[in-house]
Amino acid sequence: MRAYLCRLDELPDQAARGFAPEGTSRKAMFVVRHGGRVRGWLDACPHVDGAPLAWRKDAYLSADGNSIVCYGHGAVFDIDTGVCTRGPCVGQALTPVALECDEGALWITSPHAAK
């Protein structure tokens, strides 16, 4: 099973966007486009179980757009690996979400796509 997220061209380079489809029980997740790659992560900081990273809609990145940041306590995550490189949970990592890109559209795949 898979669920539609957005068109790839709706996500500019060095941008992130959160998704929490209505009617689902799965955790919210976000996608990051950086340097031609798109990665998906659960919106759950490893520092505090289940805490969301963003302090406002889609605010998942550092000011320069090169890192993922949790605004709870300032953890900084590598944008490619999701590993915390600075802050209170160094060495822990975000949980990846499998993505598919199909004809210019982004999809998430099971188990995160359950509706």
x/- map, 19-58, ligand FES, by CB under 6 A: --------------------------x-xx--x-------
Query: Virtual CA dihedral for 42, 89, 52, 112, nearest 10 degrees?
Result: 10
Q: Is 83 in the site for ligand FES (CB under 6 A)?
A: no
Which residue has the CB atom at the shortest distance from ligand FES?
72
Report the residue from 37, 73, 86, 115 that binds ligand FES according to the rule CB under 6 A.
73
| Joined tokens for residue 27 | 């955790």
- Alpha-helical runs (H) found in the chain: none
Any residues with CB less than 8 A from the CB of 22 and at least 6 apart, and which? none
Q: Going residue by residue from 84 to 113, which x/- string records binding to ligand FES, judged by CB under 6 A?
A: ---xx-------------------------
SS3 42: strand
Q: Which is nearer to ligand FES, 75 or 99 (CB)?
A: 75
Tokens matching residue 53: 């990273």
Of 35, 56, 48, nearest to 75 by C-alpha is 48
Q: Summarize as ranges the residues that interact with ligand FES (CB under 6 A).
A: 45, 47-48, 51, 70, 72-73, 75, 87-88
